[in-house]
A and B are shown apart, each in its own frame.
Chain A
Amino acid sequence: MSYIHVQNLSKRFTVRKKREKGSLLREKEEVQALRGVSFDIGQGELIGYIGPNGAGKSTTVKILSGIMTPDGGEAVVGGQVPWRERKTYVRRIGVVFGQRMQLWWDVPILDSFSLLRDIYRVPEEAYQARLSELTEALSLKDILRTPLRQLSLGQRMRAELCGSLLHRPEILFLDEPTIGLDAVSKLALRDFLRWENREHRTTILLTTHDMEDISALCSRVMVLGHGSKLYDGELQDLLRRYDRTRTVDIRYGREGCVPAVPPSVVMEKNGDGFRLTYRPESYPTADLLSALQQAGPIREMTVQSQNIDHLIADMYREMDL
């Protein structure tokens, strides 16, 4: 039996719209946020949950964290139905909504933590132990007595994460935790998530638009689009499937050299050189190289595979999202 079992989950929203510009009348429109999503997650997995804006990722997180009731389908997490046994269930989970704040703006973050301790009724000893562990891992030591409003975004996000983990949740739902963070903060946050996942076997569902997050942390990803699950499996397989083109930038030693390539290779002028995009499966790299060499003396040349954001963009395009 899997730890998180989701079967055929669906959710509809009503959005009110103005009928047309200047009209005072409104009309209702139904938006199907989730149309029958199913998946299973084992305990201790760290899973990436991706998809374009509006795909239904946050809705899933809200349903699984017991805030929202679905219109149809079932979900059992650790033996409990989130929206039915809300009070006992929510003790076992931690949630981070990257775009919202749970800590108090005008008080030192330590005071917000004490409030969370009382909300979850964490015994003092356990709280102190956990707090010092998290303070160490998230390097919060120097800012514990600083009000939230005086912290940078990166510090704030680390503090928010600490707040969500004080009660030792078995499951952590992260909704865009790295939004707006600089490179150093992102790396620190990723290290921490990996550590928390390994050390405490915390099951983590990570929603993000940052593909670097996913490739650094998750071996398994689920792709959501238009409220349906489109892919579920290894990240590497997904990438291999869409990572089919290579780009070559080339400059020749003298003017007037133009390589002769078949129409399947897209060639465009790039400064005083060329950029060629090709698929190794339809035009072997060796053939391309000899074609390039025949055109003249090569001064410099680089070969690149696509970056992960482009891949995902291509994938979304192909899936018609």
Chain B
Amino acid sequence: MRACLSVFRLRLRLETQYRGAALGGIVCQIFFGLILSALYRALYFGKPQVRPLAHVITYVWLQQAFFRMLLSSDGDLMDKIRTGGIAYDLCRPLPLYGFYYARIMAQKLMGSLLRAVPMIIFAALLPGGWGMGAPASLPALLAAAAALVLGLSCVCAMENITMAFTMRTLDPRGIQAMLNLLMTILSGNLLPLTLFPDSWQRMITLLPYAQLLDAPIRLYTGEYALGQAPQVLLLQAGWTAALIAAGCWLWKRNQKRLVLQGG
């Protein structure tokens, strides 16, 4: 436990060092936020849709603000697995799953906070019809915050499974390319999940990808009523627990069959 906390703190601090990268990310994500907002405004002026435009634009901004939480992986950790530097972690008295989980979480947490805070302020200051809207209510905001924490826990569990697979294949690129595609589509990053056909949504919102940002955002905008919140949080927690269990199992197996190659 002490080791996990320690690596969490260290990785948090390390992430704050990459300020240039954070700034670049903010500029890029603001650009995409504006483009997508313009796109949906044009779409709605052409043919109004059922979902309110303000919700969609808020959705877009929140997705962009927390982009780093979804699509980023710990390059150092990947390299360690690929080059065999992981040998050091294997000859330590460590619970490997927890150790890497803490490390991944610290990176995603600090990486997205560094970007999300300035971006949310920016998006809130934009003129009406372009910027981010206020939460449906204070309880809705709190429910959304709780859901965001669960979403983060869930995405870290997913990432840790990717790491476990990387240890098998030694090259993360193939599986990452595939998973990133699934991630951008099914998490609502490319197109808000609220704009998918209703019959699709019933399915997609049950998948783990929808638990990451889609669920918190819907609670924030009021798309999910407060009464639904316990059910939403429960689904998130269920997925998180299942993915953590799967990850633990994979890492245990990895440790058993491990062969380190080369001098």
Interface residues of A (CB under 8 A from B): 13, 53, 58, 62, 65-68, 87-88, 90-91, 93, 95, 97, 99-102, 104-107, 111-112, 114-115, 118-121, 175-176
Would you call B85 and A102 a contact (CB within 8 A)?
yes
The 18 sampled A-B contact pairs (Cβ below 8 Å) are A53-B263, A58-B263, A67-B260, A90-B92, A97-B87, A100-B83, A101-B85, A101-B88, A102-B85, A107-B14, A114-B10, A115-B6, A119-B3, A119-B6, A119-B93, A119-B94, A121-B2, A176-B263
How many residues of B are in contact with the other chain, CB < 8 A?
A: 25
- Residues of chain B within 8 A (CB-CB) of A95 are 87-88, 91
- Residues of chain A within 8 A (CB-CB) of B76 are 104-106
Answer yes or no: B117 CB below 8 A from chain A CBs: no
Interface residues of B (CB under 8 A from A): 2-3, 5-7, 10, 13-14, 17, 76, 83-85, 87-88, 90-94, 258-260, 262-263
- Residues of chain B within 8 A (CB-CB) of A67 are 87, 90-91, 258, 260
Candidates A66, A68, A97, A106; contact of B88 at CB < 8 Å:
A97
Shortest beta-carbon distance from B262 to chain A in Å: 8
Would you call B258 and A68 a contact (CB within 8 A)?
yes
**Taking A68-B259, A106-B14 as contacts, is the C-beta distance between A90 and B93 under 8 angstroms?**
yes
B256 nearest in chain A by CB position:
A69
A62-B260, A93-B91, A115-B10 known; 20 new pairs, CB 8 Å cut-off, are A58-B262, A62-B87, A67-B258, A91-B93, A95-B87, A97-B87, A99-B263, A100-B84, A100-B87, A100-B88, A104-B10, A106-B14, A107-B13, A111-B10, A119-B3, A119-B92, A120-B92, A121-B2, A121-B3, A175-B263
Would you call B258 and A88 a contact (CB within 8 A)?
no
Expressed in whole angstroms, the Cα–Cα distance for A102 and B76 within the complex equals: 12
B6 nearest in chain A by CB position:
A118
**Taking A104-B14, A111-B10, A118-B6 as contacts, is the C-beta distance between A13 and B94 under 8 angstroms?**
no
The interface centre, meaning the residue of B7, B13, B263 with most chain A CB atoms within 10 A of its CB, is B263
Would you call A120 and B93 a contact (CB within 8 A)?
yes
**Taking A62-B260, A88-B93, A106-B14 as contacts, is the C-beta distance between A115 and B87 under 8 angstroms?**
no
A54 nearest in chain B by CB position:
B263
Q: Which are the 7 A-B pairs with shortest beta-carbon distances? A: A118-B6, A102-B88, A119-B3, A65-B91, A100-B85, A67-B90, A118-B2
Expressed in whole angstroms, the Cα–Cα distance for A100 and B88 within the complex equals: 8
A98 nearest in chain B by CB position:
B263
Shortest beta-carbon distance from B107 to chain A in Å: 12
- Residues of chain A within 8 A (CB-CB) of B7 are 115
A53 nearest in chain B by CB position:
B263
Shortest beta-carbon distance from B1 to chain A in Å: 10
A112 nearest in chain B by CB position:
B10
- Residues of chain B within 8 A (CB-CB) of A91 are 93
Expressed in whole angstroms, the Cα–Cα distance for A53 and B262 within the complex equals: 10
**Taking A107-B10, A114-B6, A119-B6 as contacts, is the C-beta distance between A87 and B93 under 8 angstroms?**
yes
Shortest beta-carbon distance from B253 to chain A in Å: 14
Shortest beta-carbon distance from A200 to chain B in Å: 20
- Residues of chain A within 8 A (CB-CB) of B91 are 65-67, 90, 93, 95
- Residues of chain A within 8 A (CB-CB) of B84 are 100
Expressed in whole angstroms, the Cα–Cα distance for A255 and B98 within the complex equals: 80
- Residues of chain A within 8 A (CB-CB) of B14 are 104, 106-107
Expressed in whole angstroms, the Cα–Cα distance for A102 and B83 within the complex equals: 12
- Residues of chain B within 8 A (CB-CB) of A107 are 10, 13-14, 17
Expressed in whole angstroms, the Cα–Cα distance for A67 and B260 within the complex equals: 8
A164 nearest in chain B by CB position:
B88
Would you call A118 and B5 a contact (CB within 8 A)?
yes
B3 nearest in chain A by CB position:
A119
**Taking A100-B84, A120-B93 as contacts, is the C-beta distance between A106 and B17 under 8 angstroms?**
yes
The interface centre, meaning the residue of B3, B14, B92 with most chain A CB atoms within 10 A of its CB, is B92
Expressed in whole angstroms, the Cα–Cα distance for A91 and B263 within the complex equals: 23
- Residues of chain A within 8 A (CB-CB) of B85 are 100-102
- Residues of chain A within 8 A (CB-CB) of B3 are 115, 118-119, 121
A62 nearest in chain B by CB position:
B260
Expressed in whole angstroms, the Cα–Cα distance for A114 and B258 within the complex equals: 28
- Residues of chain B within 8 A (CB-CB) of A176 are 263
Expressed in whole angstroms, the Cα–Cα distance for A187 and B90 within the complex equals: 30
